[in-house]
Chains A and B, each alone.
Chain A
Amino acid sequence: MIAARSRVRLGSWWLSPHLLTMTVAMASTACSGFQSVLDPKGPRAEAVSKLHWTLLSIATVVYVIVIAVLLYALWYASHRPLPAGDHPYRETPDQADTMKRGVIIAVAVTVIVLISFVFASVSTGSTLGRLGGTKPLRIDVVGHQWWWGVTYNDPDPHNQFETANEIHVPVGRPVLIKMTSQDVIHSFWAPNLSGKKDLIPGHQTITWFRADTAGVYRGQCAEFCGHEHAKMAFFIVAEPTLKFESWVQQQRGEAQKPTDSLQAAGERVFLNGPCAMCHTISGTGAGSKFGPNLTHLASRLTIAAGTLPNTTGNLAGWILDPQSIKPGVKMPPNRIDPQSLQALLAYLENLK
């Protein structure tokens, strides 16, 4: 009975004017924002977006014409005078000619439109495939359940460094990404910048993008990869070259050493407890790659792969009980006494 009632309610809601409002609201939010295909911020997304709008507008015109012709035909059929003769519906030779011409023109227009679509599609494809610029920034991305490992390569291996779930890029410089996965198939998708590309275990795939406008863009795993697929996000931070370089300099360094006794105690908690079994903090003894690299954790915008803003409270909640935030996540819940937790938080928040 309850079910029935709710169905009725749902039905009435469905018919209500709310629907229109909702749809319009949704459509308008999708047009811009930090995770939207409709708000391109780089050449790849732009090319796709251009193609999309081109196809959409032509398709719209075609649709309108077809519908108009159809309506006209319906109207005309009921309003034209009946011709005289035995076979009122037989076409006269004149009519047959007109008909034939009409069909030929329609087919020709259709073919031309479709061929132009092919050209548009191929040329977009080649734009996507061509690296938009020289001297790309080279990044390796490794997919894990459910986070992103990021390595910044450098011709000098000593300058290589790792981060997680956050990709900083300089505005205007192409970024070449080599991707693979540690476990299952994931897909790298930052709609404002580039289309999807799968990360396949044991195989390397390549994608690239260029951010032409500074900003923060959200990306998302786009291939179902397990429980927390939905909470496997990342952020791309596009910033001016100088700012980016200073970020690189800071990321290359070892982790901040504890500056006071509380932080020192926190470091001990980290290294002696379960944390060091999974995470790396460069410059300490912790070097496991099971979980994200935390060397410069405090410099990141979010924790838990784009799930929570990086605040003290969120961090504490995450450390104590990640399973309630991301059920099924590989990080176990931790029982830490309040003093140790305070110390640990102080230490982690210092990892700028």
Chain B
Amino acid sequence: MARRRLAVRSSVCRSYLPLLALGAALACSKQKAPDEVAQQGPSPAMTPMAGRSNGGAIANEAEDGQWVRPAKNYASTRFSGLGQITADNVKNLGVAWTFSLGVLRGQEAAPLVVNNTMYVVTPFPNILYALDLTKPGAPMKWEYKPGPIAAAQGVACCDVVNRGASYADGKIVYNTLDDQTVAVDANTGKEVWKTKVGEINLGESLTMAPLIVKDKVIIGNSGGEFGIRGWLTALDLGSGKIAWRAYHTGPDSAVLIGSRFKPFYAADRKPNLGENTWPGDTWKIGGAGAWGWISYDPDLNLIYYGTANPGPWNPEQRPGDNKWSSTIFARDPDTGEAIWAYQLTPHDVHDYDGINENILLDLPFNGRTRKVLIRPERNGYIYVIDRTSGEVIAADPYGYVNTSTGVDLKTGRLKVAEEKDPKMGKVVRNICPAAPGEKDWQPSAFSPVTGLLYIPHQNLCMDVESVEANYIAGTPFVGMNVKMSPGPGGNRGFFDAWDPVARKLVWRLTENFPVWSGALATAGNVVFYGTMDGWFKAVDARSGKELWKFKTGSGIIGQPMTYRGPDGKQYVAILSGVGGWSGAIVAGGIDPRDSSAALGFVNAMTDLPGASTKGGTLYVFALP
């Protein structure tokens, strides 16, 4: 468990700098203030992918004390090089100021900090606030109200959340629930452009945080429970015009699969799999949105993201592999062309969306450094995938899984345990992990200092019964009765530290409720996360020891972030406000006596209303 310590920091920098890219490099080379430097050296040769300057945007990924996109950097590490707050002094952390968002639904967004201004997006009605960090108490600079159509709330499967905004080129860009992408002038709060990219009457909604790559805003739709046809779309950052759209089902021409498409596994190389692995024309309503995270590798000029579950949940209505649902795509951000694809869960039968974050790292495997992406997947495995080719290097379970027995590394195929497949008119019990998977959207963090991946996740199992799903456009298309319950051990959440090179668990914290908040790793060797009963916690990055905690007003399902204020101090911010799929019982006022409510999640959360009420408050913490 004890990791190798490299005593002298400067020697670390000297010996690894040539190899190094982003994170670790920042920790060393920036050398701004002594407190911004890691106390302990990084694991050898374990470096997050290089981030690059990106056109005119301020996306130079050297540590600038800002937070311009939800995942902090293109490699999606959620690691900040700021190190003022350390394992030693974090116990003194206190509230600097708070801000009420005025919306009491699930707060899943990450606040952004750019040019001494903080930007926060609320859940529906998706108000954008700009807070002036230069003034005491961070007063509001402006607010922007996009006024989304209220009916859009009827097609948001799992609370009316929004996962945040991105900044580039003087614009804050984010999505509204009613399928509009808006760009707002970061200084004035004036709308620059607004583009309608989807249709609520087809069940589409937007909840994800866009990623801005060069001059493209990349977004994907939600609605795998509404019979949508999933897509990823790039908008022009300047004008908001649609540059390209890649569907996730249908013929190759629609999926943007062309001559450059070179999937690693032979089975994926046949033509038109997005159409031929579905019965009849069901691919047109086959789900597979892209409501999660996008990463970008500037060296390879590739974006990486995963697609969501196939629809309906009832698998008997869609025999076949259902490509390209629950799939990782690597695409050229300029043209949208697919470069490779790997289907994590072929013919998904348990709602194992593949939308989780892809953390881009350069890791040593079998004696050589490989460009990989690491991904704690919903189906219960942590995948290590070669991001140049799509080859699965490793897939290890990080929780109790009985729906599959592993991943065949020869064919890349998940070895499914068929006895857990739902059957029409039958109840199949004790399926682990449950529909939200071992880990849902809540993003993990990677610290190049400790070399560990910090994974917030849940521990749930379920009973299911599939029923015939009727497709009526604009209404849910699910066909499954679900009833979830806590997994083995009885607790519903874990916060794990995972060593991706040794491929083993280093430490694990158990939480009563699912850990539905994101994680944040800092150079001060402190890792932050929140719990659904309202505690915001700081733990030691190496040992997992709880160092500090603070009880916020409502449950936390947001993404913690940190920044350097205009006063030079390091701040940590988190949104508090329970909701989301897991917190629907509170945010949506759901009746727990119906164990199938909120797609069955309520049955595992019946005690949440006693632990947290609705909320919507931004908390910002600092050392005294």
Contact = CB atoms under 8 A, between A and B. Distances in A.
Q: Do chains A and B touch in the complex (CB under 8 A)?
A: yes
B276 A282 contact: no
Given A157-B277, A158-B280, A202-B426, A287 B285 contact: yes
Interface in B11-53: none
Interface string B276-291: 1111110001000000
Most buried by B among A160, A162, A180, A280: A160
B468 A289 contact: yes
Interface in B244-276: 275-276
Contacts of A278: 470
A283 interface: yes
B424 A288 contact: no
Contacts of A156: 276
Contacts of A254: 280-281
B58 interface: no
A201 B280 contact: no
Given A201-B425, A202-B426, A287-B285, A158 B320 contact: yes
Given A157-B320, A158-B275, A158-B320, A285 B281 contact: no
Contacts of A282: 280-281
B472 interface: yes
Interface string B172-205: 0000000000000000000000000000000000
B204 to A, nearest CB: 14
Contact of A288 (B319, B320, B472): B472
A158 B472 contact: no
A316 B276 CA distance: 37
Interface in A275-300: 276-278, 280, 282-283, 285-290
B425 A203 contact: yes
A183 to B, nearest CB: 10
B227 interface: yes
Interface string B424-458: 11100000000000000000000000000000000
Given A158-B275, A288-B472, A289-B468, A283 B281 contact: yes
Given A160-B279, A254-B281, A285 B470 contact: no
A277 B320 CA distance: 26
Interface string B283-301: 0010000000000000000
Nearest to A162: B280
Interface in B441-485: 468-473
Interface string A161-200: 1100000000000000000101000000000000000000
B319 A157 contact: yes
Contacts, number: 54
Contacts of A276: 472
A286 B425 CA distance: 24
A328 B278 CA distance: 36
A287 B278 contact: no
B279 A202 contact: no
A162 B426 CA distance: 23
Given A157-B319, A203-B425, A289 B470 contact: yes
B279 to A, nearest CB: 4
B425 A158 contact: no
A180 B320 contact: no
Contact of A287 (B275, B277, B319, B470): B470
A283 B473 CA distance: 13
A291 to B, nearest CB: 10
A287 B280 contact: no
Nearest to B317: A289
Interface size class of A (residues with CB under 8 A): 20 to 34
Nearest to B426: A202
Main SS of chain B's interface residues? loop
B251 to A, nearest CB: 12
A157 B275 CA distance: 10
Given A156-B276, A158-B280, A277-B472, A202 B425 contact: yes
Contacts of A158: 275-280, 320
Contacts of A252: 280
Contacts of A162: 280
Interface in A111-169: 156-158, 160-162
Contacts of B227: 287
Given A157-B277, A158-B277, A282-B280, A287 B424 contact: no
Interface in B198-237: 227
A276 B201 CA distance: 14
B588 to A, nearest CB: 26
Nearest to B474: A285
Contact of A161 (B280, B471, B473): B280
A290 B475 CA distance: 15
Interface in B392-433: 424-426
A277 to B, nearest CB: 6
A160 B427 CA distance: 26
Contact of B425 (A180, A280, A283): A180
Contacts of A290: 470
Contacts of A289: 468-471
A180 B424 contact: yes
Nearest to A158: B276
B287 to A, nearest CB: 13
Nearest to A157: B320
A157 B425 contact: no
A160 B281 contact: no
Contacts of A157: 277-279, 318-320
Contacts of B470: 278, 287-290
A276 B473 CA distance: 9
A217 to B, nearest CB: 27
A290 B424 CA distance: 15
Contacts of A277: 472
A156 B320 CA distance: 8
A287 B279 contact: no
Most buried by A among B276, B279, B472: B279
Given A161-B280, A202-B424, 14 more contacts: A157-B278, A157-B320, A158-B278, A158-B279, A160-B319, A180-B425, A202-B426, A203-B425, A254-B280, A285-B473, A287-B227, A287-B470, A289-B468, A290-B470
21 contacts: A156-B276, A157-B277, A157-B318, A157-B319, A158-B277, A158-B278, A158-B279, A160-B279, A180-B425, A202-B426, A254-B280, A276-B472, A277-B472, A282-B281, A283-B281, A287-B470, A287-B472, A288-B471, A288-B472, A289-B468, A290-B470
Interface of A: 156-158, 160-162, 180, 182, 201-203, 252, 254, 276-278, 280, 282-283, 285-290
Q: Which 9 A-B pairs have the closest CB atoms?
A: A287-B471, A202-B425, A157-B320, A288-B470, A160-B279, A157-B319, A158-B276, A157-B279, A285-B473
